[in-house]
Structures are given as structure tokens and as C-alpha cells.
């Protein structure tokens, strides 16, 4: 599998532009049955290397806006840490977000109302310091107490990503549900990720448990798979009912 084999056509009529920068991928193996238990009807678990995967993804969102217009000041840039997994519907792969934590209340309310995405509000930070990435979240609303504190070491570039590394990073759309329970799919496009290896210096997380999963344990979930990317600009297409 290569990027060229799975990369779709670019989103030509984007409704939103944004950038995802200083991004880390921290992924754990889970059983297909456990991941399937949190999905809505109509979605199936996307599997790689015999497992479902749950990701803890910190990054810095920058420059949200409408294509052709300046980015929204202040409210359009913030740290985000999401918990996500990977799904398919009718053979089309995508991301299913379990939670998305940021430190801007208005975007939380807008995203929950218009896209029914499970955004959460609280203290959040994501900063690159030399060859390290420092991330923290303390959730305040709406899902009770949950937090994460992550410190990563950024390592060498990944010249030829493995099939698993492509599976975890090359995602070209997201699924959501409407308030009435109908599924929607929004396409995205961006340049190829420039991936780097990374390792965990320290990690103390309860966001994954708050999303409905058992806390990852090495004897069950294995060691986490960790990568870093300096980031990409992104175009988001109009969500459509599927």
C-alpha cells in the first residue's frame, strides 16, 4: 500500500480551510468487538494488522476559515487533542471521533450544534519545544473529569511508511451522525504527511477511558505506536448524508 494508491481526488469545492500542525499519532491496538461497541449503526470497524486501532492525537489547529477569505482571528487557532478510531461504510474508510478537546468555548458550541461532533471545552495546550512535543488537557465541559499530559521525543523522518503507518495517518474523510441518527460523511484533502518517528517520554491519560474504552495496558494492547508530523494545510468538503 502507498499514498498514491489510496489518495482520493482533492476536495475542489471546500467549505472550510484549516491547518493541522505539530501533530502526534499515539495509537493502541484494541479488539474489533470493543471498538464496534461504541460505533453507531451503519459503521463497521476498519482493521489493520489484525486489530482495530484507537488514537490519541494532539495537534495545533491553525487558520480555520472559508477558502478565499482570511482566517478567523483567535477563534480559528487553538490546540486540539482528539480520541478517534477508524471505520468504513460501504467500503469507504474514514475517521470516527470519540472526543475532541479544545480551549475555545464558541467553536465547541458551533461544532456540537452544526456538525454534532463531540467537542469538549477545558484547558488545553500543545507546544513543540525543540525536539519535544508537550501536550496537556484538563476537560471542564461537558463530559465530567478527563485529562491528559503527554511529553514526546521527536525522532528521525520515516522515509518509507509501512502499511500500518499509512493506515493510521492517510485518512480522507470523517463520519458523523445527525441528531436524528443519520450518518454523514465529509471528505478532506491535504498534501502527503511528512512523518517522523517519535517516542513517549511520559504519558498520563484518561481521555481514552472517558471515550468509552478500557485503559490501554501493555499486556493487552501492546506498546503504543507513536509518530509525529510538522503538519499540513487541509481542505474540508461539504458533509453529505450516506
CATH number for 101: 2.40.400.10
User: What is the model's pLDDT at position 98?
Assistant: 97
When pLDDT is cut at 50, 70 and 90, the band that residue 6 belongs to is low
Shortest CA distance to 119 belongs to which of 81, 93, 146, 88?
81
CA distance 199 to 183: 36
Does any domain span residue 200?
yes
CA distance 157 to 155: 7
What cell numbers appear for 155 in the block? 525522532
Does any domain span residue 45?
yes
Beta bridge pairs of residue 78: 61
**What global pTM score does this model have?**
0.95
Does any domain span residue 182?
yes
* Residue range 135-155, pLDDT digits in tens: 999 999 986 789 999 999 999
The percentage of residues in the chain with a pLDDT greater than 90, rounded to a whole number, is 87
What cell numbers appear for 113 in the block? 450544534
Helix, strand, coil percentages for the chain (3-state, nearest 5) = 15, 50, 35
Number of domains in the chain: 1
Q: What are phi and psi of 4, to 5 degrees?
A: -65, -25
User: What is the model's pLDDT at position 75?
Assistant: 84
Does any domain span residue 52?
yes
Does any domain span residue 5?
no
When pLDDT is cut at 50, 70 and 90, the band that residue 10 belongs to is confident
Least confident of 7-21, 110-124, 219-233: 7-21
Residues in the chain: 242
Shortest CA distance to 197 belongs to which of 163, 161, 235?
161
Amino acid at each position: 500500500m502507498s499514498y498514491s494508491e489510496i489518495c482520493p481526488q482533492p476536495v475542489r469545492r471546500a467549505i472550510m480551510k484549516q491547518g493541522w500542525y505539530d501533530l502526534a499519532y499515539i495509537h493502541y491496538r484494541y479488539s474489533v468487538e470493543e471498538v464496534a461497541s461504541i460505533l453507531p449503526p451503519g459503521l463497521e470497524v476498519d482493521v489493520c494488522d489484525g486489530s482495530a486501532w484507537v488514537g490519541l492525537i494532539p495537534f495545533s489547529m491553525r487558520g480555520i476559515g472559508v477558502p478565499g477569505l482570511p482566517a478567523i482571528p483567535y477563534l480559528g487557532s487553538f490546540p486540539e487533542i482528539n480520541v478517534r478510531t477508524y471505520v468504513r461504510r460501504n467500503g469507504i474508510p474514514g475517521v470516527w471521533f470519540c472526543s475532541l478537546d479544545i480551549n475555545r468555548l464558541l467553536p465547541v458550541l458551533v461544532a456540537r450544534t452544526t456538525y454534532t461532533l463531540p467537542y469538549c471545552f477545558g484547558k488545553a495546550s500543545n507546544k513543540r519545544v525543540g525536539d519535544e512535543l508537550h501536550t496537556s488537557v484538563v476537560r471542564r465541559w461537558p463530559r465530567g473529569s478527563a485529562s491528559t499530559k503527554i511529553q514526546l521525543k521527536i525522532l528521525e523522518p520515516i522515509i518509507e511508511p509501512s502499511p500500518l503507518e499509512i493506515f493510521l495517518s492517510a485518512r480522507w474523510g470523517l463520519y458523523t451522525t445527525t441528531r436524528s441518527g443519520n450518518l454523514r460523511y465529509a471528505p478532506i484533502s491535504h498534501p502527503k504527511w511528512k512523518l517522523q518517528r517519535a517516542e513517549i517520554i511520559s504519558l498520563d491519560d484518561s481521555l481514552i477511558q472517558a471515550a468509552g474504552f478500557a485503559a490501554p495496558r501493555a499486556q493487552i494492547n501492546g506498546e503504543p505506536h507513536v509518530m509525529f508530523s510538522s503538519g499540513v494545510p487541509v481542505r474540508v468538503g461539504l458533509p453529505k448524508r450516506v
